[in-house]
Amino acid sequence: MRASTARSIAKYLILLVLLAGIALSQACNVVRWHRASVTEHFHELGLASKVVQLDSGKMHLFEGGWGAPVLLIHGFGMGALETWEKQADAFVDRFHLLAPDLFWFGESLPTDKAGMTSAAEQADAMAELLRVADIEKAHVVGVSFGGFVALQLALRHPEVVDRLVLVDAAGLEPTGEERATVRANFDGIDDICQMIIPRDAETLRSFLNKLFYKPRFLPSLVVRQLLEDEFWKNKEAKERICRKLTRGGMLGPGDLGAVRVPTLLLWGRHDPLLPPSIGERMARAIPGARLVFLAESGHPPMVEEPERFNQVVLDFLSR
């Protein structure tokens, strides 16, 4: 075989390998495969995936189970499916679960394409969802930004909230010292929106590694898919939400004093994004609130210590 012919064949084979790799990376979307797998498991548990038409928009949620209603409100990064994956089995036999995607997250989209940029608006939508579902009162569990939504629901619509669980919740204006702590935890980044809406895959990897008490390995392909399918989905709307949140959109301790429902605060002891001191100040501000720390968790204790998390929440809601 002539050398030029061999080189041509080699180049052709290399091209085939590259094309096959590109095709495989497109077809093998691990994030979407995982979502499909968890959705199937939810269906097996009796949690139906549905879309409800509200005046405020089309809201996607998982609903099912028996007993007292429990509204689960996810945070800023992921939708309901990923957030509550480790809670479904433990909760569905004891409660009637509603796990919606907040507007602009997951599969939920508001009627007003420029709206739903505040926790208060999202809370009003949660109250509307309960009315449409013919539920007079529900226990409410919210994590991170979803904790702020849950807090606003208890303040704006106290008649629909039975018990309130705030998990590493946003909503209380940080002190200067707390801002400095968060800045140091994230390598001097002062803009929280740069953290929760990462500019690229490496920034996302760094952010996720810091959020967890025990960082978890994620292949680069999966990180890119998470960025594109989750964190960048409805990116402009999420940026509007974040800007409103960080520009005077928080509450003061005096505002929290108006909460009049039994409240549990559950906090990761090593949360770098919403430091434990915020949980301590929240607990002091909300009348009668109880604070529990999870010793081996960062920001997402329902993921890092699911068994402990589930037991504490179930005990509180079952009283």
* Residue-wise pLDDT tens digits, 113-135: 998 999 999 999 999 999 999 99
Average pLDDT over residues 235-244: 93
Phi, then psi, of 100 in degrees rounded to 5: -85, 160
Section 73-83 average pLDDT: 93
Tens of pLDDT, residue by residue over 204-213, are 999 999 999 9
Residue 3 confidence class, pLDDT cut points 50, 70, 90: low
Terminal CA-to-CA distance of the chain, rounded, Å?
Answer: 82
CA distance 290 to 2: 80
CA 149: distance to chain centroid? 11
Note the pLDDT of residue 24: 40
Predicted local distance difference test score (pLDDT) of residue 319: 81
Helix axes 176-185, 276-285, angle to 10 degrees: 150
pLDDT digits (tens, 9 = 90+) for 292-314: 999 999 999 999 999 999 999 99
User: What is the average per-residue pLDDT within 28-55?
Assistant: 94
Instruction: Please name every residue paired with 69 in a beta bridge, in sequence order, or none if there are none.
Output: 96
Residue 5, pLDDT above cutoff 80? no
Give the separation between CA 272 and CA 181, rounded to whole angstroms.
8
The pLDDT tens digits of the residues spanning 146-176 come to 999 999 999 999 999 999 999 999 999 999 9
User: Is pLDDT larger for residue 89 or for residue 13?
Assistant: 89
pTM over cut 0.95: no
Is residue 108 within 8 Å of residue 59, measured between CB atoms? yes
Tokens 């009627």: give the residue: 111
Bridge partners, residue 263, by sequence: 164
Instruction: Go through the domains of the chain in sequence order and give each one's CATH number.
Output: 35-183+248-317 (3.40.50.1820)
